[in-house]
Amino acid sequence: RHLPPLGLSNAWGYNPVTFMALDPRLAPGGLKELRDTVAALRKAGIGTILDLVFNHTGESDRLGPTLSLRGLDALAYYRHQPDGRLVNDTGTGNTIACDHPVVREMVLDTLRHFVRFAGVDGFR
């Protein structure tokens, strides 16, 4: 009841296409808006923890659109069944292969990005 008068609605934002891009429904001003918000919260003595999703993407299953990682290297970025189908541990149609070195590096790069360029204090 508090959000509609502000012109806001529920936005989950849990289907990332790329991990360093902010959902424009949540941060229409992009990284600058996040950085300014984090700075204002810090000035008020409040730390900022980001909730990031690293277990799946918005690309869905094999029938979904190719938007990002699938087009780069689907075998490296996603877990697959022995028959080649995508593993679906997340209920979204795909599961990220966090055991692959390129994926681990992408996750670490993303965490460093938000600390360096937005000043966040931690992650969930």
> Is the pLDDT confidence value at 83 over 90?
yes
Mean pLDDT for 69-81 is: 94
| Band of pLDDT at residue 55, cut at 50, 70 and 90 | very high
Cα–Cα dist 104/53, whole Å: 13
Segment 91-119, tens digit of pLDDT: 888 999 999 999 999 999 999 999 999 99
Share of the chain above pLDDT 90, in %: 63
| Band of pLDDT at residue 45, cut at 50, 70 and 90 | very high
pLDDT at residue number 19: 93
**83 vs 3, which has greater pLDDT?**
83
Residue 74: which residues within 8 A CB-CB, separation 6 or more? none
Residue 80: strand, helix, or coil: strand
Task: Give the global pTM.
Answer: 0.85
Residue spans per domain, the chain: 24-54+98-123, 60-97
The CA-atom distances, in angstroms, between 80 and each of 66, 71, 85, 94 are: 16, 15, 5, 9
